[in-house]
Amino acid sequence: MGLGYWTFVTNVYVTVGRASGERRVNPEKGATDAEFLLAKFFAVGATGLLFGTVQGVYQVLPWSLDWLHKTGEAGHMIDPMAHAHMNLVGGVSVALMGLLYYFLPRMLGRPIHSLALGKFSFWCIVIGVFGFYFAAVGLGWREGEMVLSGLTDVEAKEAMGIWHPLLLSVTATIMGVGFWAFITNILLTLRGKPAPDAPVDSGLSKFIGFSVVAILIGTIQGVVQILPWSQEWLQDGLPSSYFITPLSHAQLNMVGFAIMGLMTMCIFLLPRILGRPVVDPKAGRTALLTIGVGITLSYLVFLGVGLVETIAIHNGATAAEARETVAGPWGRYVLFVLAQGVLGFGYVLLFRHISAIIGVEERRAYFRNFRARMRNAGKASVRVHPRALSGNPGENQRRVLVATGLEALGFLGLGWFYSGRPFIGVMLMSGWVGFLTIIYVVLAIVGNASLLATLMVPYFAFAIMSAIGCYRSYMRDARENVLATS
């Protein structure tokens, strides 16, 4: 997965670099300032994904997991707080901001309200996102080391003095200013009517407005949550305050902003990509409206239940007693199901609309080609490379026995490598490392080494099946090779 992200990041860097070079060499034919603003946002978004995925890969290593587990709340500043913010805000949200700056003028048939305000929002976002990330990682690491030396989470935080709240609050505020400048620019752009020559589906721009209002409320809530008194209030209100953050907060930032914005642009772009007639997407607007209602209800339910129950805990109630403050023991669950049910129904409507745009024949043709490609790729991946085959049956037999033994002993992928199937080898080795990492995490959490034998049973069962597959497929190609060379 990391390799996929890093390939994407490299591609973005190369593309943006070429576009920048073309603008310098031939300004008339290069991208305009407004168009290149999208490239800048994409480059920053790709950098956010790069930071987040590198951290994610490092965090699953055994010693890193152990450190994060031992440091408690200090480690939580690194993961999930810094990690999630870099991936979701620095990666997803920043790239989406660039997309909205680019596509909203095309929906309305007129330019964005202020390019200068767009550039201002860009630089505030860059400083705020990366400043907040490094502040959270740095504070988490420093306080984590204090915890390992014998201090409690609270004592380590107090030892940092004013620096803990100051760094987080200042960088979060700069990030918030960047978002609010972006939101202002989008809302001012939406304030006017679409141009006379705007496309017939310009009404979709209203849902862009919904998405930026969602991120407006979400960023205000995020800044409030990072203040010292708010953090303490939320911490003391656990587990009920979990509904306030991250649940209600994420509902606005990721679902209300990111998902709604992406779905709106998807409905706008899909007929143009497929060469279909561009018409007013009534079914699409109905789906987006239903999703918007579901997002609003989910946010209000999560926030309302969280506030009521957290207040009850602060007034002396236990977590179990707090759960009954909202319409009895089952009332909260009814509210959750109803709110999420409306949202889910909206997703079903969206799926139906997109499916109708694509068309039945297009879908069938895609899956026919997909299945055929997968079959051919599967067959090609188990074919033995010619250099791993010999005209001597005895030599082939020795090679395949060594490969089969490596697989059966649990060294998944090495046998396939040795027998000339590197693609399968890489896939199995990745699975092997991932499975052993999962075992390590499970044992670290449970603290019971007796589970090791149970967890290893399916691993070695799969290793035996892999060994059999390795042997049979190699011998098939070896026999064909001997017959061809004799």
Instruction: Write out pLDDT tens, residues 34-75.
Output: 888 888 898 999 999 899 988 888 887 878 888 888 888 888
In terms of Cβ atoms closer than 10 Å to its own Cβ (0-12, 13-18, 19+), residue 72 is: middle
pLDDT at 457 over 90: no
Chain length of the chain: 486
Looking at residue 164, its pLDDT comes to: 84
Between CA 482 and CA 486 the distance in angstroms is 6
The structure tokens listed for 38 are 């999208």
What share of the chain has pLDDT > 70, as a percent?
97
User: What is the arithmetic mean of pLDDT over 156-165?
Assistant: 85
pLDDT at 212 over 90: yes
Residues near 80 by beta carbon (within 8 Å), at least 6 away in sequence: none
pLDDT at 447 over 70: no
User: What is the arithmetic mean of pLDDT over 167-190?
Assistant: 91
CA count, 13 A, side-chain hemisphere, 1:
8
**pTM greater than 0.85 (yes/no):** no
CB 421 within 8 Å of CB 381? yes
User: What is the arithmetic mean of pLDDT over 318-331?
Assistant: 81
* Nearest CA among 453, 412, 454, 405 for reference residue 433: 412
CB 91 within 8 Å of CB 45? yes
pLDDT at 434 over 80: no
Looking at residue 433, its pLDDT comes to: 73
Among 113-127, 218-232, 389-403, 430-444, the range of highest mean pLDDT:
113-127
User: What is the arithmetic mean of pLDDT over 137-157?
Assistant: 86
Candidate from 154-158, 181-185, 308-312 with smallest mean pLDDT:
154-158
Range 280-287, long-range pairs (CB < 8 A, 24+ positions): 280/200, 280/201, 280/203, 281/201, 281/204, 281/353, 283/349, 283/352, 283/353, 283/356, 284/204, 284/350, 284/353, 285/203, 285/204, 285/207, 286/349, 287/346, 287/347, 287/349, 287/350, 287/352, 287/353
* Nearest CA among 93, 340, 131, 98 for reference residue 218: 93
Residues near 31 by beta carbon (within 8 Å), at least 6 away in sequence: 19, 22, 23, 39
The structure tokens listed for 75 are 């480690």
Tally of CB atoms within 10 A around 430: 14
pLDDT at 85 over 70: yes
